[in-house]
Every structure is written in structure tokens, then in C-alpha cells.
């Protein structure tokens, strides 16, 4: 893709690390994986089983590649998002005919973005910019590479389903990975806000995904009240039903994402990044796994303290104990390695 003069009307974040916007639960998992020597190399080899080249050829042959002469505004948004998040390699972007509003980042060696026409038709320019920033965030974080692990495990689960307890074991791992990816979606909603720098546009995206294009019929305050009502549920039975409904979902519910991005935009972290206070990629190698796991545990604990969900209240004590133990486990692992840097992680 060519490199025209990017839009400089928004704050740029030179050298920003994906850790700046990643949800603590997402960040701790990524730092832990990056700390495993050779893990990325092995996973890239495994991802070849999914025929990344074939995916790209399918979109090259059956979709429209955005550029100077096709979907120029989408091309410019992707380029500008990479400029703002300081991503050197601008990914290709394909627009595909599909009425379902969706976008995704695919690939590991040469990631690319796919945007459905249903999403382009649904969103205005600033809303679409937030979505593009969301997908660029996935690429900067390396989520596409790690998502390959889940796809491989799903395929493996299908092959070992005939074995006693085989598919159950794989399913348990996949459920854990899906929880991770739901947090990764919250991470990239934040990346989308950093790119668009318009909290209202980021929130409108989620309202439109839930209720369609007629914003005049919707209210941000009423939608936020829906989020509060969903969080509170009715009793423990509703809390269990909410938990079960999430098991096979890759994305959190729209009202949950709305409430999360609203809170993140208001509580200071977003403003600090805009002011230039954010971790740099050059420091990624020093990220400590134990610290990040404790940050994740603290984040979960804070969310449990905020929630009015009676089911979470019933299991909070056991969950707190498990989360607190995780940081100590990584500390012990790091001490056994004896490398003086407890689980240091590599860069993106």
C-alpha cells in the first residue's frame, strides 16, 4: 500500500506498546506467552496448517482490495490507524460483500484486515475509524497469531472426540481461550478509541451493532442503563444463565463492551495515554509475568467488586483465592529459571 501524508489531526503515539491498551487479563496472557522462548516460532509453524496463504487468496479473488482506486476512504483509515499506533507495516484491507456487520484481522506472517459491506453501510466515517483502529489493535497485539492456537485446538478436539475424555479436555482449554479472546476484544475496543479519539463514536458503534442504524431511536444513557440492568441480573439463576451463554461466544455482549469503553474513557487511563504517558515497545522485554498476572487478578477483583451480579457474589471468594495464587505461581516459576528476570517477555 502506498504511504500518502497521514492525517495528523489526532494525537500519535510513537513507539507505543500494545500493553498500553490491553485489558489486564489479555495482557498477562500475552506477556506469559511471549516469555516462552521459541513459542512464537512454533506457533507460526502450526498456523501454517490453517493455510494462511489460502485465506488471503480467497479474499484476493472474491473481494475488493482497498487502495488508491478502490474504497479509498477505508484505505486511508487503515493507513492513519497504523500511523497513530506506530505500526510500521500497513496491512492490506479487503472489503467483502456480506450483509452481516463484521470485521476481522487474519494472518500472522502478513496480517490483513477484512471488512464486510454490512459494517461499512451501517457506520459513519468516525465510527468506521474506531472499528479500523480495533482491527489494527488486534494486529499490534499479535492476537491473530495466538487465535491460531485456538483454531488448531478446535480441530484437534474434533479429531480426538472419540477418545474417552479427550474432547472434554480440549474443550476446557478452548473455553479458557475464549475467555481470553473476549478480554482481547475489550483491549481492541480501547485501541479503536486511541485511533479515533472520539469516545462517542466508539460507543455509537456498539449501539448500532445492537440496534441498527436508527440512532435517533436510541439513547446512550438508556443503553448504559441496559448495561447496568444486565450486570445486576435478577438472581443467581440469571447469573448462571449469563455465564452459560458466554461459553461459546468470542465477543462480550454489546452492552458489556459499551459499559467497559465508557468507563475506560472516563477513568483516567485513556487521558494519560493521550498525554504521552504509556509503555513503549522498547520496554516490552522487561515485562514481568508475575506482575501482569497480579494486575489481571486485581482487575478481575475490581470488576467483581463493581458488579451487582448475585452469581459473581456467590463465587467471589473462591475466585479471589484462585486469582491471588496465580501471581505466586509465576513468581516461583521465574525463580526456578534463575534468570534474574521473572518471565521476561519479548516484543510484538
What is the reported pTM? 0.77
Check residue 61 and give its pLDDT: 96
Check residue 83 and give its pLDDT: 97
Check residue 124 and give its pLDDT: 97
Check residue 106 and give its pLDDT: 86
Query: Which residue ranges of the chain lie beneath pLDDT 70?
Result: 1-8, 28-51, 145-177, 234-236, 238-240, 242-244, 246, 248, 288-348
| pLDDT digits 0-9 by tens, 116-142 | 999 999 999 999 999 999 999 999 988
Strands lying side by side in the sheet with 112-116: 64-65, 92-96, 112-116, 103-106
The string over 132-154, giving b where at least 16 C-beta atoms fall within 10 Å of a residue's C-beta and e elsewhere, is bbbbbbbbbbbbbbbbbbbeeee
Residue 100 CB-density burial (10 A; 0-12 exposed, 13-18 middle, 19+ buried): exposed
Check residue 23 and give its pLDDT: 85
- Residues forming the active site: 135
Coil, strand, or helix at residue 96? Answer: strand
Query: How far does the chain reach from its first CA to its final CA, in angstroms?
Result: 22
Q: Which of 77, 54, 18, 88 is nearest to 287 (CA)?
A: 18
Check residue 230 and give its pLDDT: 85
Domain boundaries, the chain: 18-337
Amino acid at each position: 500500500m502506498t504511504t500518502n501524508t497521514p492525517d495528523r489531526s489526532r494525537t500519535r503515539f510513537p513507539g507505543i506498546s500494545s500493553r498500553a491498551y490491553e485489558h489486564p487479563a489479555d495482557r498477562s496472557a500475552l506477556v506469559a506467552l511471549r516469555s516462552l522462548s521459541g513459542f512464537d516460532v512454533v506457533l507460526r509453524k502450526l498456523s501454517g496448517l490453517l493455510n494462511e496463504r489460502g485465506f488471503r487468496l480467497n479474499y484476493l479473488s472474491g473481494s475488493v482490495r482497498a487502495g488508491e482506486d478502490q474504497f479509498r476512504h477505508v484505505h486511508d483509515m487503515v493507513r492513519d490507524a497504523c500511523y497513530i499506533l506506530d505500526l510500521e507495516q500497513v496491512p492490506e484491507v479487503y472489503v467483502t460483500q456480506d450483509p452481516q456487520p463484521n470485521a476481522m484481522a487474519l494472518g500472522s506472517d502478513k496480517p490483513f484486515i477484512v471488512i464486510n459491506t454490512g459494517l461499512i453501510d451501517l457506520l459513519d466515517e468516525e465510527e468506521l475509524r474506531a472499528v479500523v483502529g480495533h482491527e489494527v489493535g488486534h494486529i499490534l497485539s499479535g492476537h491473530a497469531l495466538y487465535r491460531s492456537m485456538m483454531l488448531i485446538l478446535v480441530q484437534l478436539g474434533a479429531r480426538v472426540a472419540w477418545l474417552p475424555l479427550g474432547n472434554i479436555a480440549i474443550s476446557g482449554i478452548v473455553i479458557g481461550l475464549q475467555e481470553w479472546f473476549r478480554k482481547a476484544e475489550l483491549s481492541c475496543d480501547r485501541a479503536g478509541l486511541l485511533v479515533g479519539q472520539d469516545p462517542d463514536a466508539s460507543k455509537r458503534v456498539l449501539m448500532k451493532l445492537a440496534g441498527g442504524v436508527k440512532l435517533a431511536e436510541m439513547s446512550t444513557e438508556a443503553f448504559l442503563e441496559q448495561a447496568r440492568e444486565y450486570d445486576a441480573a435478577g438472581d443467581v439463576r440469571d447469573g448462571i444463565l449469563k455465564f452459560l451463554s458466554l461459553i461459546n461466544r468470542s465477543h462480550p455482549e454489546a452492552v458489556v463492551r459499551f459499559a467497559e469503553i465508557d468507563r475506560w474513557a472516563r477513568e483516567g487511563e485513556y487521558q494519560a495515554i493521550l498525554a504521552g504517558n504509556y509503555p513503549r515497545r522498547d520496554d516490552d522485554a522487561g515485562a514481568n509475568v508475575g506482575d501482569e498476572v497480579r494486575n489481571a487478578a486485581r482487575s478481575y477483583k475490581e470488576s467483581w467488586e463493581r458488579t451487582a451480579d448475585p452469581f459473581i457474589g456467590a463465587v467471589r471468594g473462591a475466585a479471589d483465592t484462585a486469582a491471588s495464587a496465580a501471581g505466586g505461581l509465576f513468581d516461583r516459576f521465574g525463580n526456578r529459571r534463575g534468570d534474574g528476570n521473572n518471565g521476561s517477555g519479548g516484543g510484538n
